[in-house]
Amino acid sequence: MAQHDHDHGHDHAHVDTEEHELTYYEKRIIAISNLLIDKGLISSQDLLNVLKEMEDTTPMVGAKVVARAWADPDFKQRLLQDANLVMSELGIALQRFRVLKVVENTDSVHNAVVCTLCSCYPIPLLGYPPDWYKDETYRSWIVDDPRACLSDMGMNVPANQDIRIWDSTAEVRYLVLPQRPAGTETMTEEDLAQLITRDSMIGVGRTLSPDELSVAADG
């Protein structure tokens, strides 16, 4: 990300497009950002600060929270009861939204998250949202036929397991607490975190098994 001075005197931020073709959403972001800078509503430094913040947040932040919940029952209960307080204790700032709710997958309930209006997403915990999360197809299909949508994404939820869909808003974001895989009883929190995928914390994918982690490490 670099700065570029245009003839009309405004300082722009722009993306180097030589290495890859921009996606539809990247083009929209650039156009909107330049418009806001032109109108003086934000500065290029404001934009760069946001991008730096996004670079510093990855799904591993959320994975470490989930791993601790798996390993510490007391922490897990506090997380489910008041996630905001727990995030504050961990030094994780919930910027641009007020409330975080953690919803737990169980043998009888599977949770998944969507934002039906736009792309509200817990960036401090999961990093920047994937393109499919912002796509209208996902946003409508996961609500209209969640079991079919999840199946299409490779997440086959058993028929005896209810599916609950949580709709994020500008004020409230959700994090799915996946079920702990079998055979992980002796694993450390650090190793457990490696099993937890971004999609499992959205509810559209599963965690890795210890065997899959070993194969990935060997590869």
Report the pLDDT value the prediction gives residue 150, as an integer from 0 to 100: 98
Report the pLDDT value the prediction gives residue 21, as an integer from 0 to 100: 73
- Name the residue with higher pLDDT: 190 or 16: 190
pTM reported for the whole predicted model: 0.77
Taking only the tens place, the pLDDT of each residue in 101-150 is 999 999 999 999 999 999 999 999 999 899 999 999 999 999 999 999 99
- Cα distances from 193 to residues 29, 76, 208, in angstroms, run 31, 15, 10
Report the pLDDT value the prediction gives residue 160, as an integer from 0 to 100: 95
Q: Which of 120, 149, 168, 200 is an active site residue?
A: 120
Res. 47: pLDDT tops 60:
yes
Q: Which of 118, 140, 151, 214 is an active site residue?
A: 118
- Name the residue with higher pLDDT: 46 or 206: 206
Report the pLDDT value the prediction gives residue 43, as an integer from 0 to 100: 80
Res. 192: pLDDT tops 50:
yes
Instruction: Identify the H or E element spanning 219.
Output: none
Report the pLDDT value the prediction gives residue 51, as an integer from 0 to 100: 63
Report the pLDDT value the prediction gives residue 32, as an integer from 0 to 100: 81
Report the pLDDT value the prediction gives residue 13, as an integer from 0 to 100: 39
**Displacement of CA 164 from its chain's centroid (Å):** 18
Domain boundaries, the chain: 2-56, 59-218
Report the pLDDT value the prediction gives residue 50, as an integer from 0 to 100: 63
Name every residue whose Cβ is closer than 8 Å to that of residue 156 and which is 6 or more positions away in sequence: 150
Mean residue pLDDT of the chain comes to 86
Q: Which of 33, 115, 149, 200 is an active site residue?
A: 115
Question: Using CA atoms, how far apart are residues 53 and 203, in angstroms rounded to an integer?
Answer: 24
CB 181 within 8 A of CB 207: yes
Does the active-site annotation cover 118? yes
Instruction: Identify the H or E element spanning 177.
Output: strand 172-177
- Name the residue with higher pLDDT: 192 or 51: 192
Tokens of 138: 């996902």
Report the pLDDT value the prediction gives residue 42, as an integer from 0 to 100: 78
Does the active-site annotation cover 149? no
Q: Which of 43, 44, 88, 119 is an active site residue?
A: 119
Q: What are phi and psi of 12, to 5 degrees?
A: -105, 155
CB 100 within 8 A of CB 84: yes
Percentage, residues of the chain above pLDDT 70: 83
Res. 197: pLDDT tops 70:
yes
Q: Which CATH number fits domain 59-218: 3.90.330.10, 3.40.50.300, 3.40.630.30, 3.30.200.20?
A: 3.90.330.10
Res. 7: pLDDT tops 50:
no
β-bridge pairing 11-14 and 2-5: antiparallel
Report the pLDDT value the prediction gives residue 14, as an integer from 0 to 100: 41
Name every residue whose Cβ is closer than 8 Å to that of residue 125 and which is 6 or more positions away in sequence: 57, 59, 61, 62, 65, 92, 100, 175, 201
What Rg do the C-alpha atoms of the chain give, in angstroms? 19
Question: Using CA atoms, how far apart are residues 173 and 194, in angstroms rounded to an integer?
Answer: 23
- Name the residue with higher pLDDT: 39 or 65: 65
Question: Using CA atoms, how far apart are residues 13 and 25, in angstroms rounded to an integer?
Answer: 16
